Structure 1
Amino acid sequence: MVSDAIGIASTGLTLHRKWLDAVSDNLANVNTVTATGDDAFRARYVIAQAGEGDSGVYVAGAAYGDAEGRMVHEPDHPLADEAGYVRYPDIDLASQMGQLIMAQRGYQSNAAVVDRAKAMYESGLQIGK
């Protein structure tokens, strides 16, 4: 029973770590500029999937944002085209910050489950002494 809890929580830890990686990558590139002829940075979103029975949760894949991004008029930018436009990623900073908080809380919750299951296992070992 305890090993099941640790195993399930470890799948949650892995999922939330990958979610945190994706969000941090998106946040790090929110202001990445490209020329209008190039693709914008594409935000990455983790797709979660429940496992069979009580086996936990897994990363089923990733979805990517639009490569078109958004056009911004910055005529003084070195990458600006003849009309003065550059391309930025279409990443909503507020949404990403919300995702960051949810991923952090999920990671913390799963880590707490592992700690409590470990403490319960250790307490069970003390009974036989």
Structure 2
Amino acid sequence: MADPLVSSLKIAASGMEAQSTRLRVVSENVANAETTGDTPGADPYVRKTVTFGATLDEVTGANLVRVTDIGTDKADFESTYDPGNPAADENGYVKRPNVNMLTEMMDMREANRSYEANIQVIKQAREIINMTIDLLRS
């Protein structure tokens, strides 16, 4: 049986790593929210998505979170009339990325809060370890 504090630290660290990846993907989506194709009628930037999964840590027996896939959103592109755009088709319409800024901001906020919660777990575990060391010194 593994030490519960070590398990807690590993679980929190895996959560931080997964949420860090999620924040990176959200940032990429936000940065490319206006990126259209290079040629007339070409597809624009496609929103990326993150899928999480559980993996068993053989040493501690803890279920850790991990990113299982960075995929693409299957939502349709919006088209806007912009005949002067180099990416406009023969009718003057430009395909826009399927990135919704409200969704991205909500994802960013949720990932940030999850990341902070994992930091708190690590702080609490560290505090318990320090208290145990202080007790052993007495």
Instruction: Assess if the C-alpha contact under 8 Å between 2:40 and 2:90 holds in 1.
Output: no
* 1:39 has 2:43 as partner: yes
* 1:2 and 2:10 are equivalent in the alignment: no
Q: Please report the TM-score for the alignment, with normalisation by the length of structure 2.
A: 0.84
Q: 1:38 Cα shift? A: 2.0
Structure 1 unmatched ranges of 5 or more:
none
User: Residues of 2 paired with 1:17 and 1:46: CA distance?
Assistant: 11
The answer to which of 109-118 and 70-79 deviates more is 70-79
Give per-residue Cα distances to partners, 1:81-108, cap 9 Å, x unaligned. 3321222111111111111111110001
Identity in percent: 26
Q: 1:126 aligns with which of 129, 134, 138?
A: 134
Aligned match of 2:97: 89
Give 1:60 deviation, angstroms. 0.9
RMSD: 1.8
Partner residue of 1:23?
26
67-76 vs 103-112, greater mean Cα deviation = 67-76
- Aligned to 2:72, which of 64, 67, 71? 64
Query: What is the total number of aligned residue pairs between the two structures?
Result: 129
The answer to whether the Cα contact below 8 Å between 1:39 and 1:68 also exists between their aligned partners in 2 is no
Gap runs ≥5 in structure 2: none
Normalising by the residue count of structure 1, what TM-score does the alignment of the two structures yield?
0.89
Mapped partners of 2:23, 2:43: distance in 1: 24
